Amino acid sequence: MIIDLPGTSTRAINRRLVKARDEGGAVALGRVLTLIIDVDGRDAEEAIEAANDASREHPCRVIVIAEDTTADESRLDAQIRLGGDAGASEVIVLRPVGALAQHLDTLVMPLLLPDAPIVVWWPYEIPQDPAQHPLGRMAQRRITDSTQCAKPGEVLRRLAQVYAEGDTDLAWTRATLWRGLIAATLDQPPYEQVQRVVVSGESTHPSVDLIAAWLAQSLRCPVDVERIADAPAITTVRLERASGPIVLDRPDGKTAALIQPDQPEHRIALPIRQLRECLAEELRRLDADEVYGEVLQKGLARLSS
């Protein structure tokens, strides 16, 4: 069900939500958090779809802000999505126009779930300092996505300078399966020191930099990054040890080959992770991701380029 509310107010939106609850039963109950999505004037549908899928694991109230700061008039248009149009959540799309778009925190406050954690997600361009952004100051968790930025490398280094507990990036989440496989492989004999690491992948993909920074910080060894134009994200991680290299190779973005000395080659399903998977993973935890913070602040500095 989709309810359009042109030229409205947050009070009217709340009243319409109460009415929908009375008409549809417990449609607006049982939410575990409020997810605020700031699309910065971009198309919101992809982000809403990902949030709807993630809400089946984490029922929540989703507040989408699609502001328009170019108009002279001040007006708030809104849309409420419930039922099949909202997954296991309830979606409130706010379209503030003019001056209303300058006070996003004041705009969303009346719509927050009481006594529920707040998560803010910027699916596209990222604020200069997420923790100090008006929406970021309200939240326990702040999710960015440097893969969607025009200059991901510069964005990562800026995020490292302003990192605060509760920050995370979906470029880090996209590398979770790689990190798990590498850690599991190194946890098997022979327990040798890794002498050098080579990470290959798409030339500007931030997941390549983050996994290289993680390995540099964790293993305290030289890490080289090979950048390949138009590659499918991370393609290869090569760990050089005295007994021979361990290679995790995924040239097609779907299936990886794990090659180790004196062992047969193993084929492992390792598809590029979808947006909804990454968002759902980040919504599972509301505490600080200390490993991400360490990699961002210290690991990136260990990379030569």
Give the C-alpha separation, 272 to 181, whole Å. Answer: 14
Give the C-alpha separation, 245 to 257, whole Å. Answer: 13
Q: What angle separates helix 176-186 from helix 206-219, to the nearest 10 degrees?
A: 30
Give the C-alpha separation, 63 to 263, whole Å. Answer: 51
Is residue 81 over pLDDT 90? yes
Quote the pTM value: 0.93
What's the rounded mean pLDDT across residues 232-245? 97
Rg of the chain, C-alpha, whole Å? 22
Q: What angle separates helix 45-55 from helix 275-283, to the nearest 10 degrees?
A: 50
At 24 the pLDDT is 65
Is residue 28 over pLDDT 50? no
* Per-residue confidence band for 305, with pLDDT thresholds at 50, 70 and 90: low
Burial of residue 38 (number of CB atoms within 10 Å: 0-12, 13-18, 19+): buried
Is residue 84 over pLDDT 60? yes
What's the rounded mean pLDDT across residues 168-186? 97
Q: Is 257 helix (H, G, I), strand (E, B) or coil?
A: strand
What's the rounded mean pLDDT across residues 155-177? 97
Output the average pLDDT for the chain: 93
